[in-house]
Copies of this chain bind each other. A is one copy, B any other.
C-alpha cells in the first residue's frame, strides 16, 4: 500500500489536506503546490488525479455539501414542531454552518468555481439540497408546484444573502448577532 513511491490513496489524501487548509487558513492559502507539499508528495503529483486546480476545488466543495447535509440531519433529528418551526431550525443550522466554515461555504456557493453546473457531482450535491428544501416546503401545506419553487428560492436567497453579509462584511453593525438571526428567521418562516 503505502510505498515510498506510490501513495495508495492520494486522491482522498489530497482532499483531506485541502479541507484542512481551507478550515484553518482559508481558501486563499490553498495552493495546489501546498496541498501537494503537506500531503508529502511532489508538486506535480496532483495532476495525476485532477485536471487542474479547479477540479480539486470541486471535490472540496462536494465534501462541504456532505458536511452541511450531516449538519441538517443532526439539527432535525427527533425534531417535533410545526413546519414553520422546522424551517427556522434548519435556517439557523445553515447560518451556523456558514459561520463555522466560512471559506468552505464560500467555495460551495461563491464564484471561485466557475460554471458549476458543468461538474456532475457538484450539480448532484446542489440539486439534492434544493429538492430537500422543496419537499419540506410542500410538506408544510398544499400549494401549487410553481408556488413552492418561488417560496424555496425566496427563503434560500434570504438566508444565503444574509450569510454572505455576515461573512463578507455587513451594511449594518448588528448583522450576525444572535438576536438578529432569530428575528430574520422568524421573517423567513413567515414566507410560507
Is there contact, CB below 8 Å, between B156 and A171? yes
Closest approach, in angstroms, between the C-beta of A160 and any C-beta of chain B? 4
The 8 closest A-B pairs by CB, nearest first: A161-B161, A157-B161, A130-B171, A160-B161, A157-B162, A158-B158, A116-B169, A111-B168
Q: Chain A interface (Cβ within 8 Å of chain B)?
A: 106, 109-111, 115-117, 126-127, 129-130, 149-150, 152-154, 156-162, 164-165, 167-169, 171-172, 174-175, 180, 183-184, 187-188, 191
Is there contact, CB below 8 Å, between B153 and A171? yes
Copies of this chain present in the complex amount to: 2
Is there contact, CB below 8 Å, between B150 and A184? yes
Q: How far is the CA of A183 from the CA of B63 in the complex (A)?
A: 33
Residues of chain B contacted by A188 (CB below 8 angstroms) = 154
Can you sample 5 A-B contacts with CB below 8 Å?
A109-B168, A126-B169, A153-B175, A157-B159, A161-B161
Closest approach, in angstroms, between the C-beta of A165 and any C-beta of chain B? 6
Residues of chain B contacted by A126 (CB below 8 angstroms) = 169, 171
Is there contact, CB below 8 Å, between B153 and A160? no
Of all chain B residues, which has the CB nearest A109?
Answer: B168
Closest approach, in angstroms, between the C-beta of A118 and any C-beta of chain B? 10
